[in-house]
């Protein structure tokens, strides 16, 4: 199935439609809540939590014997939370730093999960296959009930986000200040954290434990580059997340043998790279252009103010001076002289130059600004 | 007439494990003073105002505002945190930050409306930042960021203002602008408490001072107690500043 | 025990030791997550190297993997420098993207590549003994032993040669620069060793579990000692112990060896985390409680010392002004009384002579913040810990 076929089938084929709607919702909620994770500097906590949820999935299967997604995800939720609290406990009670605690819990829980998974695989009663989908995600296994579940959770998140928008924003920006205003910061904090954990768990089936954190971070990091408003950032992140989800799922469903997780993450990464480079206000490309322009302007201004110092000493401002004098000045090149002439700040005749009235005014202003900035 | 106290601190003690930060502080701040808290680094100046404001939990002691427990009087108190305590790359505008000052009076869930916006714009005007209202906060200079924080506290329309190092890393123009606003607040009968670093400017800016170094060394009018003796007690070494009378 | 079993345990132990050494420095330099990033992002390098050589143990493969590991470090640092996103976000963006490329390369070429996703995550330790190094038809043992052994040898000689420099630069970057050790050279040196080790270990234990082998032993050791040499030795012991016990647990459960090694690492950490003598959870919680009591007592004594007026020393005042609950106030007063620090006369509390001396000493300590004084004070504290 080619990608085009896939998208033409989306509207007619029931399964494809389910998958597409599912990943779209997932992408949107991840982008939205991921924005909070990024702004709270908890980017990598998501990574730890998603890895830590693996043993929960395996244990839920071992206890119940079912492959019902909701049961497995409940297991994931519990073990993800245990991981998160343990990280907090390690940081609070020992001198180990956050990064060590994150890396430790992430890898140890994951290893334990893999031990259980391989143990399950070798069990004789073997209706076990299918747990691997939680490693890298398999959107094709999404059922309509899963999609409904995601939609309901997303709906609840949206309502809460809308109600507590003001409080969320305040806590994200300045938690201490929020406290002095009389807000219960612990409550808001718990609310945000549980939503982030919920988003991670929801995504496990589609994106998988290994790459889930990128699904949270990438849309938010991309969205941040395009706006300076929190609400716009969250909406953009939701859109980027949705697009990554849909396009990624489309590509992975149209090829055999591709897990959805890595494809979605790569699509999201393309959004990030594009945003990093081409965002007009923060992007690297425009930053470089501005930098070069500033440097050129600076050179021009320096030459001009050198000339201004010379001209100042004469009664007649338009008195001509030799170009040769400028040789002592390092910033000077023929190019700068030409530029200045184009801007009509100076006139050049043969080997002599003289300042125009306009140039004198402009240089004078530069001089004053300079004094003010000191 | 008996002095009316805006803030009364009783036996306040704060400690992190073995490290004592504040010990048995008794402090009464009279209404209408412009007070500096001075002391060496690590003396617990920020900790003092943070525990008055309930950001840090003390292990002992109580704080009352106009005779009632602080919890019930929050709306009378405004806070200007240290500029470095927040992430200035946060996606928000100057006006948005100032609007946050109105959130406390709004309470949970309710959104700010046109009244709040008007108040925020007035505060921006007062600190001379109105032209920058739509500016992303990372694109403001350090002094401008400090003024935004001040405006946010002004919007709270409180009776008592606590400020943590408002002159840290600001340009001279901003410093003058801020001190003028503080003096205006005092004229309007408000009480202002400032954690301050620059001893040279204490006599010029403030009329009340508290010396702090883990314990309270002294508190009172600048004219009476801002002397070499108290400075030496606070800073440990022979400290001399020329006190302008 | 068959010879294959012995060989597996040998390889596992070598991997554990090779990972533990750079791991100690990564943990101490607060760069644990970089190892997480490296272990993921060597994958595309490995896969491309494998396409070229078709040999999992080829030196070129190791080189390619290590290069993409270093590329990750450079990329993360570049993104951090642009200030477009926060530091941790930079790490979180780079490695999933590179890892995804690796996974997709494997998936797209599943037929030609002898790697599969399970091998990427878990390694193939169980099969390692079957891949022999043959020179002139002489069996020199499993190839992995030679690969890991060589990496370990290099790591060890670098460690011994640059021990002093590493030590200084880990604990004091400023001093290291002043002494003329370039922190940048050491930084990238360490990153290179970490990358090479990760690639070498990858084959045996897989991408994500390399992280556990690097971080867990070092973190566990750090809870027991602050001495660099002891920390290195302890990490190695923990690593080898987990490798061997992990092997037998896996053998018993018929499950993944590397998963079980990691689980053992986790258990060792858990035990140390709970029971370590000074920094373990139990001793920390116990000590905090003691300290809290001591600080409360001191606060109380100091308060009495500060206030001569009777109203401030009335027993009811404790509840009102100091803002303590009745129970807390009562237990503090009882503790003070038991140690003869105070006398209560008609509900007015006064300091005894002993109490006065002690409080003066405490004030002295508080004002000067002198560490030597706290030692003698601590001794006094133990006298009346009730």
Does residue A176 belong to the interface with chain B, where contact is any CB pair within 8 Å?
yes
Q: Parse chain C into domains and list their residue ranges.
A: 3-277, 282-383
Chain B's closest residue to A168, CA to CA, is: B109
> When comparing pLDDT for C209 and A73, which is higher?
A73
Q: Which CATH number fits domain C3-277: 1.10.3470.10, 3.40.50.300, 3.40.50.1110, 3.40.50.720?
A: 1.10.3470.10
Return the axis-axis angle of helices A43-52 and A69-93, rounded to nearest 10°: 120
Segments of chain A assigned to CATH 1.10.3470.10: 3-269
Are C86 and A97 in contact (CB < 8 Å)?
Answer: no
pLDDT score of A155:
93
How do residues C64-108 score in pLDDT, each as one tens digit? Answer: 888 888 888 889 888 888 888 887 888 888 989 998 998 888 887
Are A182 and B85 in contact (CB < 8 Å)?
Answer: no
Distance CA C306, CA B158 (A): 33
Distance CA C97, CA A49 (A): 19
Are B111 and A224 in contact (CB < 8 Å)?
Answer: no
Residue B111 DSSP code: P
Pick from A78, A77, A102: nearest CA to A90: A102
Q: Which CATH architecture has domain C282-383?
A: Orthogonal Bundle (1.10)
How do residues A353-371 score in pLDDT, each as one tens digit? Answer: 777 877 777 777 776 655 5
Are A176 and B55 in contact (CB < 8 Å)?
Answer: yes
Tally Cβ neighbours within 10 Å of residue A130: 12
In a domain, B244, yes or no: no
- Is beta strand A352-355 parallel, antiparallel or unpaired with respect to B34-38? unpaired
Q: Which residues of A301-322 are buried (b: 16+ CB within 10 A; e: fewer)?
A: bbbbbbbbebbeeeeeeeebbe
Does residue B24 belong to the interface with chain C, where contact is any CB pair within 8 Å?
yes
Quick one: fold of A3-269?
Answer: ABC transporter involved in vitamin B12 uptake, BtuC (1.10.3470)
Does residue C281 belong to the interface with chain A, where contact is any CB pair within 8 Å?
yes
- The set of residues, in sequence order, having a beta carbon less than 8 Å from that of B164 and lying 6+ positions away, is B46, B49, B50, B79, B80, B81, B82, B85, B195
CA–CA min distance A126, chain B (Å):
51
Each of the 245 residues of chain B gets a pLDDT tens digit; together they read 567 888 888 888 887 766 678 888 888 899 888 999 988 887 888 999 999 988 888 888 888 888 888 888 888 889 999 988 888 888 999 898 999 988 888 878 888 888 888 888 888 888 888 888 888 888 888 888 999 999 999 898 888 999 998 888 888 888 888 889 888 888 888 899 999 988 888 888 888 999 988 888 888 888 888 888 888 888 776 555 544 43
pLDDT score of C299:
77
Does residue C258 belong to the interface with chain A, where contact is any CB pair within 8 Å?
yes
pLDDT score of A25:
93
What ipTM was predicted for this assembly? Answer: 0.89
Looking at the DSSP assignment, which residues form a beta bridge with residue B19?
B16
Are B86 and A180 in contact (CB < 8 Å)?
Answer: no
Mutate to test the interface with B, among A39, A94, A174, A222 (most CBs of B within 10 A): A174
How many domains, chain B? 1
Does residue C112 belong to the interface with chain B, where contact is any CB pair within 8 Å?
no
A349 Rama sector, left if φ>0, alpha if ψ -120 to 50, beta otherwise = beta
Q: Which of residues 38-97 of B touch C (CB under 8 A)?
A: 42, 58-62, 89
Are A180 and B77 in contact (CB < 8 Å)?
Answer: yes
In a domain, B241, yes or no: no
Of A163, A180, A183, nearest to B55 by CB-CB distance is A180
Mutate to test the interface with C, among A83, A103, A118 (most CBs of C within 10 A): A103
Are A47 and C92 in contact (CB < 8 Å)?
Answer: yes
pTM for the model stands at 0.85
Q: With a cut of 50, list the residues of chain A below it in pLDDT.
A: 372-374
pLDDT higher than 70, residue C274? yes
pLDDT higher than 80, residue C375? no
CA–CA min distance B108, chain A (Å):
7
> Are C142 and C7 spatial neighbours (Cβ–Cβ below 8 Å)?
yes
Task: Tell me the residue range of the domain where B73 lies.
Answer: 5-235
Q: Which residues of A touch B53 (CB under 8 A)?
A: 179-180
pLDDT score of C56:
66
pLDDT score of A373:
46
Q: Which of residues 69-128 of C touch A (CB under 8 A)?
A: 79, 82, 84-86, 88-89, 91-93, 96-97, 99-101, 103-104, 107-108, 110, 117, 121-122
Of B53, B106, B112, nearest to A180 by CB-CB distance is B53
> Are A197 and A45 spatial neighbours (Cβ–Cβ below 8 Å)?
no
Residue C138 binned pLDDT confidence (cut-offs 50, 70, 90) = confident
Pick from B40, B63, B39, B38: nearest CA to B50: B63
Are A96 and C86 in contact (CB < 8 Å)?
Answer: no
Q: Which residues of B touch A170 (CB under 8 A)?
A: 100, 103
pLDDT score of C385:
43
Q: Which chains touch C (3 or more CB pairs under 8 A)?
A: A, B
> Are B79 and A177 spatial neighbours (Cβ–Cβ below 8 Å)?
yes
- Decide: helix, strand or coil at residue A347: strand
Please report, for the domain that includes residue B142, its CATH number.
Answer: 3.40.50.300
Chain B's closest residue to C367, CA to CA, is: B214
Distance CA C224, CA B16 (A): 23
Looking at the DSSP assignment, which residues form a beta bridge with residue A214?
none
Quick one: fold of A286-372?
Answer: Arc Repressor Mutant, subunit A (1.10.10)
pLDDT score of A148:
92
């Amino acid at each position: 199935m080619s990608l085009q076929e896939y998208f033409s089938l989306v509207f007619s084929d029931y399964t494809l439609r389910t998958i597409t709607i599912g990943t779209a919702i997932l992408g949107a909620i991840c982008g939205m809540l991921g924005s909070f994770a990024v702004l709270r500097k908890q980017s990598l906590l998501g990574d730890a939590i998603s890895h830590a949820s693996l043993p929960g999935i395996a244990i839920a299967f071992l206890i119940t014997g079912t492959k019902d997604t909701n049961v497995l995800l409940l297991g994931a939720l519990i073990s993800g939370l245990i991981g998160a609290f343990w990280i907090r406990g390690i940081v609070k009670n020992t001198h180990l730093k956050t990064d060590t605690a994150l890396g430790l819990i992430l890898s140890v829980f994951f290893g334990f999960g893999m031990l259980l998974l391989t143990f399950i695989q070798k069990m004789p009663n073997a209706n076990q296959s299918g747990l691997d989908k939680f490693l890298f995600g398999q959107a094709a296994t999404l059922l309509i009930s899963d999609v409904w579940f995601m939609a309901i959770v997303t709906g609840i998140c949206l309502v809460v986000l809308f109600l507590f928008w003001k409080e969320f924003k305040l806590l994200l920006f300045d938690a201490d200040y929020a406290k002095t205003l009389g807000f219960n910061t612990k409550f808001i904090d718990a609310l945000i954290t549980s939503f982030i954990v919920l988003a991670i768990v929801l995504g496990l089936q589609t994106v998988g434990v290994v790459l889930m954190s990128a699904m949270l971070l990438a849309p938010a990091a991309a969205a941040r580059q395009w706006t300076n408003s929190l609400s716009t950032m969250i909406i953009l992140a939701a859109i980027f997340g949705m697009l990554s989800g849909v396009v990624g799922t489309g590509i992975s469903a149209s090829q055999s043998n591709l897990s959805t997780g890595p494809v979605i993450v790569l699509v999201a990464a393309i959004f990030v790279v594009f945003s990093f480079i081409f965002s007009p206000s923060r992007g690297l490309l425009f930053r470089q252009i501005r930098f070069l322009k500033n440097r050129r302007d600076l050179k021009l201004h320096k030459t001009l103010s050198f000339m201004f110092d010379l001209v100042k000493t004469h009664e007649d401002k338009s008195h001509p001076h030799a170009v040769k004098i400028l040789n002592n000045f390092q910033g000077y090149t023929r190019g700068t002289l030409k530029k200045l002439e184009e801007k009509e700040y100076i006139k050049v005749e043969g080997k002599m130059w003289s300042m125009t009235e306009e140039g004198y005014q402009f240089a004078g202003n530069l001089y004053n600004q300079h004094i003010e900035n000191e | 007439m008996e002095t009316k106290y805006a803030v009364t601190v009783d036996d306040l003690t704060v400690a992190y494990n073995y490290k004592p930060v504040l010990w048995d502080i008794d402090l009464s701040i009279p209404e209408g003073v412009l007070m500096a808290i001075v002391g060496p680094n690590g003396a617990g100046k920020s900790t003092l105002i943070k525990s008055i404001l309930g950001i840090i939990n003390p292990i002992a002691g109580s704080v009352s505002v106009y005779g009632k427990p602080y919890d019930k009087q929050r709306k009378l108190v405004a806070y200007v945190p240290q500029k470095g305590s927040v992430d200035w790359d946060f996606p928000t505008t100057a006006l948005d930050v100032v609007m946050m000052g109105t959130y406390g009076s709004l309470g949970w869930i309710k959104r700010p409306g046109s009244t709040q916006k008007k108040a925020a714009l007035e505060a921006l005007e007062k600190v001379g930042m109105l032209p920058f209202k739509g500016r992303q906060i990372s694109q403001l200079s350090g002094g401008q960021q400090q003024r935004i924080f001040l405006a946010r506290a002004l919007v709270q329309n409180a009776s008592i203002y606590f400020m943590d190092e408002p002159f840290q890393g600001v340009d001279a123009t901003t410093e003058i602008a801020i001190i003028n606003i503080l003096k205006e607040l005092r004229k309007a009968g408000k009480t202002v408490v400032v954690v301050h670093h620059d001893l040279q400017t204490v006599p010029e800016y403030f009329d009340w001072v508290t010396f702090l170094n883990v314990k309270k060394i002294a508190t009172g009018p600048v004219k009476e107690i801002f002397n070499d003796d108290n400075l030496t007690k606070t800073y440990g070494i022979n400290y001399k500043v020329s006190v302008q009378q | 025990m068959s010879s294959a079993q012995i060989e597996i345990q040998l390889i596992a132990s070598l991997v554990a030791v090779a990972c533990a050494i750079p791991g100690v420095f990564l943990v101490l330099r607060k760069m644990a997550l970089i190892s997480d990033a490296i272990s993921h992002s060597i994958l595309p390098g490995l896969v491309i190297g494998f396409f070229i050589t078709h040999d999992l143990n080829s030196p070129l493969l190791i080189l390619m993997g290590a290069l993409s590991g270093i590329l990750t470090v450079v990329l993360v640092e570049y993104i951090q420098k642009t200030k477009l996103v926060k530091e941790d976000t930079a790490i979180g963006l780079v490695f999933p993207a590179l890892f995804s490329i690796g996974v997709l390369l494997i998936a797209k070429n599943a037929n030609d590549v002898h790697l599969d996703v399970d091998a990427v995550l878990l390694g193939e330790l169980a099969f390692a003994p079957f891949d022999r190094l043959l020179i002139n038809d002489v069996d020199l043992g499993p190839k992995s032993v030679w690969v890991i052994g060589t990496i370990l040898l290099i790591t060890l000689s670098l460690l011994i040669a640059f021990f002093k420099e590493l030590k200084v630069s880990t604990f004091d970057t400023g001093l290291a620069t002043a002494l003329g050790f370039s922190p940048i050279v050491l930084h990238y040196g360490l990153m290179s060793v970490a990358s090479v080790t990760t690639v070498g270990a990858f084959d045996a234990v897989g991408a994500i579990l390399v992280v556990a082998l690097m971080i867990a032993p070092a973190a566990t050791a750090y809870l027991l000692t602050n001495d660099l040499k002891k920390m290195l030795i302890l990490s190695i012991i923990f690593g080898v112990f987990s490798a061997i016990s992990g092997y037998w647990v896996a053998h018993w459960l018929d499950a993944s060896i590397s998963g079980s090694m990691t689980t053992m690492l986790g258990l060792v950490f858990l035990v140390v985390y709970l029971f370590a003598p000074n920094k373990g959870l139990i001793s920390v919680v116990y000590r905090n409680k003691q300290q809290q009591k001591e600080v409360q007592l001191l606060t109380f004594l100091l308060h009495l010392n500060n206030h001569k007026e009777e109203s401030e020393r009335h027993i009811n005042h404790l509840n009102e002004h100091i803002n303590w609950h009745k129970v807390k106030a009562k237990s503090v007063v009882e503790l003070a009384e038991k140690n003869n620090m105070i006398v209560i006369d008609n509900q007015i509390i006064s300091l005894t002579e002993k109490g006065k001396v002690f409080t003066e000493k405490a004030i002295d300590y508080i004002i000067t913040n002198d560490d030597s004084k706290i030692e003698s004070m601590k001794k006094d504290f133990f006298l009346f810990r009730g």
